[in-house]
Amino acid sequence: MIRQELVARQLEERIAAHFEVGRRLRVLDAGLGDGAQALRLARAGHAVTGLESDPARLAALDAALADEPEGIRARFRTMAGSGQDTGAHFLPGTFDVVLGHDVLGRRQDPDSTLAGLARVLDTGGLLSLVLPNVTARAMRPGLSGDWDGARAALVAEPAPSDRFLRLESLTSFLARIGVPMERWYGVGVFAADDADDAGDAATSAEALDVEERACRMDPYRGVAQSLHLFGVRG
């Protein structure tokens, strides 16, 4: 998917900016999902630990790992759990990179989840967060001509978690917990998260190029469907 490729490229860019080439990093993916990002990092030589609370997803990923070379399997371990469980499983400073992709928007207490993710980062470690862009929820239905949906998004009272997930709120909170934001990108300015991009290869490459450029530029990144934030442990 274009979305996964965008997230991966942005993550690889920040890793290259913060760590020396060839360093084997300790990575926590606190919400594996389909495991796409975690597997990509394991294939690049990093030691990856993945938390996933959905037993079906965990079983599917374990089955996929069985088809990977032995070296990748040796440096990839999965555990049942979620981003809220980091304190129960890991000591402070255990990881160089922590991924919290699409986990904050599903929590009633995203602040405690985020604090837990930051806690297990080592000094100089990189925190990667992907979350819904709550300030631009009317964009997608509006662009597709769903005027009722766009109106509903515009007039809806924000939930408490929505207020926390706003860019300015997250910037302030990350600074308070010692992981100040270093860079942010949009994810999905033009293409929907669930868009089918499995068609013509040339068309997909063009779409990816346009998306990658737009996701770095204002005002486009500010109306993307998701945001990708990076913080660095001081």
Distances (CA, A) of 230 to 18, 68, 140, 155, 160: 11, 29, 24, 30, 23
DSSP letter at 91 equals -
Place of tokens 């032995």: 70
Distances (CA, A) of 226 to 7, 64, 86, 105: 10, 27, 24, 11
- Helix (H), strand (E) counts: the chain: 11, 7
pLDDT of residue 216: 96
pLDDT of residue 195: 56
Enter the pTM of the model. 0.92
DSSP letter at 83 equals G
232 pairs with which residues across the strands?
126
pLDDT of residue 81: 87
pLDDT of residue 193: 62
pLDDT of residue 222: 96
Q: From first to last of its 234 residues, what are the pLDDT tens digits of the chain?
A: 799 999 999 999 999 999 999 999 999 999 898 899 999 999 999 999 999 999 999 999 989 899 999 999 999 999 998 888 898 899 999 999 999 999 987 667 889 999 999 999 999 999 999 999 999 999 999 989 999 999 999 999 888 778 899 999 999 999 999 999 999 999 999 986 655 555 566 668 899 999 999 999 999 999 999 999 999 998
Place of tokens 């005027």: 147
Distance of CA 105 to the CA centre of its chain: 11
Rounded Cα–Cα distance for residues 156 and 150 (Å): 10
